[in-house]
């Protein structure tokens, strides 16, 4: 049984230059090839959830320009329901300027454009539509009042909300306590808990601090150090898969989209994290955001069985 996934978030066009290294402030370098990719944390997560076997509705705002129209068409090719995507007049679609170095590490600056115009009213349909078994997935690349509203309605309707707190924006504890699953990376964990994740003991401390706020599941994504998970009755460190990184852009997004799909198929937590970890590992071996996300058929047979059985 596959439940609905609602992804509420940003949609960007990524302009990417691949270079030997990322320039320092004040430095000009001659980089390598230039690429344009579909991106945005919300869109990447929606596409990941759909490509990996989820039934996805994506809610965002794009500009009244070619990039926005093109993005909607792309989302439809993945069978994503786009009926609640708004087109903001006189605004540009979100754009991200990205530099990727030889090790696959990146640096990203986003011009939000239409993403900053997403409004609470854009979600009014959701309050009526949400069912108890639905999964809601969001990030912080949209206005924070929209995220607060979303957390409030999900908690009222007892719907599982996954919050990927990226890029970090402050959320008061009265909102965090209502979150079902939070998925910060190391940087976001530091903002949320003031704890530097230097080893697994520090991950435990940070996860416990977040659990104590009332969050049910804490999943800290640590890149090459794997994933640390803690809930009230379970704790696990899941090692990263060993892959040659080409581009880490959207690895976190692939993880989150995969997690939503796994939850929507009612897969248990540890298996869900392993599934998401495998999808994220695949994504770092390819260049770009949505272009790097695997389809379910590109994952190991045992992961395909999670979704098809």
| Residue 112 C-beta: closest distance to ligand RIB, Å | 9
Closest residue to ligand RIB, based on beta-carbon distance:
39
Query: Which of 270, 267, 264, 266 is closest to 235 using CA atoms?
Result: 270
- The upper half-sphere exposure of residue 298, i.e. CA atoms within 13 Å in the direction of its Cβ, equals 15
* Between 126 and 289, CB nearer to ligand RIB: 289
100-124 per-residue burial string, b: 16 or more CB within 10 A, e: under 16? bbeebebebebebbbbebbeeebbe
Which of 65, 134, 247, 253 is flagged as catalytic? 253
| Residue 141 C-beta: closest distance to ligand RIB, Å | 6
User: What whole-number distance in Å separates Cα of residue 139 and Cα of residue 96?
Assistant: 16
User: What whole-number distance in Å separates Cα of residue 75 and Cα of residue 71?
Assistant: 6
* Between 139 and 181, CB nearer to ligand RIB: 139
User: What whole-number distance in Å separates Cα of residue 78 and Cα of residue 300?
Assistant: 21
| Residue 191 C-beta: closest distance to ligand RIB, Å | 16
| Residue 76 C-beta: closest distance to ligand RIB, Å | 19
* Between 14 and 88, CB nearer to ligand RIB: 14
DSSP β-bridge partners for residue 100: 18, 106
Tell me if residue 233 is catalytic: no
Q: What angle do CA 179, 180, 181 make, to 5 degrees?
A: 100
| Residue 110 C-beta: closest distance to ligand RIB, Å | 5
* Between 33 and 109, CB nearer to ligand RIB: 109
User: What whole-number distance in Å separates Cα of residue 263 and Cα of residue 261?
Assistant: 5
| Residue 89 C-beta: closest distance to ligand RIB, Å | 22
What's the distance, CA 65 to chain centroid?
Answer: 24
- Residues contacting residue 16 through CB under 8 Å, at least 6 positions apart: 34, 35, 36, 37, 98, 99, 100, 249, 287, 288
* Between 110 and 267, CB nearer to ligand RIB: 110
* Between 110 and 197, CB nearer to ligand RIB: 110
> For binding to ligand RIB (CB under 6 A), which residues are involved?
10, 12, 14, 39-41, 44, 96, 108, 110, 141, 249-250, 252-253, 289
User: What whole-number distance in Å separates Cα of residue 148 and Cα of residue 172?
Assistant: 9
Q: Among all residues, which ones are annotated catalytic?
A: 253
């Amino acid at each position: 049984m596959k439940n609905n996934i609602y992804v509420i978030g940003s949609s960007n066009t990524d302009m990417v230059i691949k270079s030997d290294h990322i320039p320092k402030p004040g430095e000009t370098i001659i980089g390598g090839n230039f690429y344009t990719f579909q991106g945005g944390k919300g869109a990447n997560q929606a596409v990941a959830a759909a490509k990996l076997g989820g039934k996805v509705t994506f809610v965002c705002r794009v500009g009244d320009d070619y990039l926005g129209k093109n993005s909607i068409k792309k989302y439809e090719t993945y069978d994503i329901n786009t009926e609640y995507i708004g087109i903001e007049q006189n605004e540009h679609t979100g754009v991200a300027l990205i530099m990727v170095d030889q090790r696959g590490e990146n640096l990203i600056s986003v011009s939000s454009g239409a993403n900053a115009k997403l409004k609470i009213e854009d979600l009014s349909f959701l309050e009526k539509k949400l069912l108890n078994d639905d999964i809601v997935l969001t990030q912080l690349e949209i206005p924070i009042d929209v995220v607060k509203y979303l957390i409030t309605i999900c908690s009222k309707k007892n719907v599982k909300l996954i919050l990927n707190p990226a890029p970090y924006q402050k959320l008061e504890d009265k909102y965090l306590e209502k979150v079902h699953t939070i998925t910060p990376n190391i940087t976001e964990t530091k903002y949320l808990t003031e704890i530097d994740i230097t080893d697994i003991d520090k991950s435990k401390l940070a996860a416990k601090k977040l659990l104590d706020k009332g969050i049910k599941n804490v999943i800290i994504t640590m890149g090459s150090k794997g994933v640390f998970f803690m809930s009230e009755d379970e704790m696990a460190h899941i090692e990263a898969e060993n892959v040659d990184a080409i581009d880490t852009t959207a690895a976190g997004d692939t993880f989150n989209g995969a997690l939503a799909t796994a939850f929507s198929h009612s897969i248990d937590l540890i298996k869900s994290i392993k599934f998401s970890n495998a999808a994220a590992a695949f994504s770092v071996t390819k260049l770009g955001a949505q272009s790097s996300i695997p389809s379910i058929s590109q994952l190991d047979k045992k992961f395909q069985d999670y979704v098809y059985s």
